[in-house]
Structure 1
Amino acid sequence: MTTTPARRDRARRSPLLTALTALMLIYSLVPLVWLFVNSTKTQASLLDSFGLWFSGDFSLLTNIRDTLTYDDGVFVRWLGNTLLYVVIGAGGATALATLGGYALAKFDFPGKRGVFATVIGAVAVPGTALAVPTFLMFAKLGLTNTPWAVIIPSLISPFGLYLMWTYAAQAIPGELMEAARVDGAGELRTFLRVCVPLLAPGIVTVALFTMVATWNNYFLPLIMLKDPDWYPLTLGLNAWNDQAATAGGEPIFHLVITGSLLTILPLLAAFLFLQRYWQSGLTAGGVKD
């Protein structure tokens, strides 16, 4: 059945879809607006003003400076720790998922069905269910309260492996690999020069998923780390937030909110920067010669 231009215009102008899109936009933007607005307030004005509007002096720059310098600049150290966990943990998880997914999609070997069942089962298991066994294992190895206790578990991404597996199976034509081999390219060169460019959108997708998961990881560092010097931003900001409940503690909710704003900026920048690779992957193959 052929879709007429008038019907396509009606679909594009659907009031229901427009209303749903507007609701999703509001749902997504209101927390960001609240975070930005309250990052401009002092501790005093934060508690006696409307949350979605400015109050008193515009103190954003002062709050940013105080956040970065409070307690001898511990926020900067937490930011560095988070970047360390993301670069090594999420970067390694992306690399392993790419290599594993490519191998599972393009090579046959004994036990492949068992690997598939294992990966599917690992995707279905929540990370919290493995927290206690992981802690006990790392405690036996003497790795708790070290960066490796956060980095090593972050290297394993069953969902990323499954995603790259399914993506590689569709994105890489077998004929193209055979042509590269006929031309004398080895397996490593075929993978790096022929397959990796085709896998780029999938790699970016897995990288973003693993980066967000590692950046926002809270429960694993909570049970693995005791030394505040190795805290990521999630644990550090929670410690600042709990400071008001301790005896003699100083409430610094304005710094917690400002720190939260600074925490999400790298994620927003990463999504905006990598969006074009997503778009190129979505349009690949959309034009038929």
Structure 2
Amino acid sequence: MSLLTVAALYFLVPVYWLMVSATKNSSDLFGTFGFWFANPRPLEYLGDLLTYDDGIYLRWFANSVLYAGVGAALATLLSAAAGYALAKFDFRGRETVFNVVLAGVLIPGTALALPLYLMFSEVGMANTYWAVLVPSVVSPFGVYLCRIYAVASVPDSLLEAARIDGAGELTIFRVLVIRLMSPALITVFLFQFVHIWNNFFLPLVMLSNSDLYPITLGLTSWQGYADRQPLLYQLTVGGAFVSVIPLMILMVVLQRFWRTGLTEGSIKS
């Protein structure tokens, strides 16, 4: 219990600091105690954040939702299809393909950013939405997790029964497999969403137009000018706190699916 308490404090204290700091102006950020409020005006500062520079923060927020939402959804679908195929279909080179996927898990994303930029530049897709979206739909970890989960949760007898009843492979995948694998798919979606939402290096390499920035890159650009415009300190902290809220909401909404998946195996018919 004590270890869990320490772990909870480790993760929650920075969020608490962000929440408190988001209610302060730039002078109070440096001139008052960091873990308590000082003349809080959160609604006023939130309005400043959303209206600064013609509402550029809202543009960055929408970009992050686009990159993370679409990227995570497509990555989950592709991971489910690839993991199911690797688990339930016997074809030549299956283990080689899976080993390549495992190798992809071990390669850091920063090592691939520059080659990806050169490739996208060659086809004229650099500095576009596609430059961030297309790499985001590939998740080697998602493929690995889906294969492991498909082996354990999708019985061959159920697949054979569906085929005998005349169901096609696409119907089996859409109606049966996705439903049986839903806990793993929720996990892949959440991991990929958080990864894309917090991704900084790939957009930094791919994008030069500030209108295409996600929140991470936009807030960093503000921080770089904060020495000349002190207001940006407060806007950066407030923007960082607002950017955490969607992740917290997503975690609360999706955790019930994990509980459902964990208890399914304990229910007897």
Normalising TM by the smaller chain, what interval?
Answer: over 0.9
Cα shift readout 1:90-129 (whole Å, capped 9, x = no counterpart): 2111111011111111111111011011011111111111
Give the distance between the partners of 1:134 and 1:188, measured in 2 at CA: 32
Q: Does 1:284 align with 2:267?
A: no
Q: Deviations over 1:186-242 (max 9, x none)?
A: 111111122111111111000001100111110000011000000000000111111
Between the aligned partners of 2:260 and 2:37, the Cα distance in structure 1 is 40
Equivalent residue number for residue 22 of structure 1: 5
The SS at the match of 1:252 is: helix
Q: Which runs of 5+ in 2 are unaligned?
A: none
* 1:240 aligned onto 2:218: no
- Per the alignment, residue 63 of structure 1 pairs with 45
Shift of 1:44: 1.8
Aligned mates of 1:126, 1:60 — CA distance in 2: 38
CA contact (8 A) 1:144 1:225 kept: yes
In the alignment, the residues of structure 1 paired with residue 35 and residue 155 of structure 2 have an alpha-carbon distance, to the nearest angstrom, of: 52
Q: How does 1:105-120 map to 2 (within 5 A)?
A: 105-120=87-102
Distance between the aligned counterparts of 1:51 and 1:102, measured in 2? Answer: 50
Q: Distance in 2 between matches of 1:130 and 1:196?
A: 30
Which secondary structure state, in structure 2, belongs to the residue aligned with residue 72 of structure 1?
coil
* Equivalent of residue 84 in structure 1, options 54, 66, 79: 66
Contact conserved, 2:26 with 2:230, CA < 8 A, in 1?
no
The alignment partner of 2:126 has SS state of coil
Partner of 2:131: 149
In 2: Cα distance, 1:80 partner to 1:94 partner: 21
Which stretch shifts more, 33-42 or 186-195?
A: 186-195
Alpha-carbon separation, structure 2, partners of 1:21 and 1:94: 30
How many positions carry a matched residue from both structures? 269
Confirm whether residue 258 of structure 1 aligns to residue 238 of structure 2.
Answer: yes
The one-letter amino acid paired with 1:197 is R
Equivalent residue number for residue 253 of structure 2: 273
Q: Is residue 2:29 matched to residue 1:46?
A: yes
What SS does structure 1 have at the residue aligned with 2:181?
A: helix
Large movers: runs of 4+ above 4 Å:
none
CA contact (8 A) 2:226 2:232 kept: yes
1:73 and 2:55 aligned: yes
Letter in 2 for 1:82: S
Distance 2:245 2:169 in 1: 40
Structure 1, residues 107-157: CA drift from partner, whole Å, max 9, x if none?
A: 111110110110111111111111111111111111111111101111111
The alignment's TM-score, normalised by the length of structure 2, stands at 0.97
Identity %: 46
Shift of 1:250: 4.3
Aligned residue in 2 for 1:34: 17
Structure with larger Rg: 1
SS at match of 1:90: helix
- RMSD, matched Cα: 1.1
For residues 155-174 of structure 1, what are the alpha-carbon distances to aligned partners after superposition, in whole Å with 9 as ceiling and x for unaligned? Answer: 11101111111111111010
Q: Which runs of 5+ in 1 are unaligned?
A: 1-17
Distance 1:22 1:249 in 2: 39
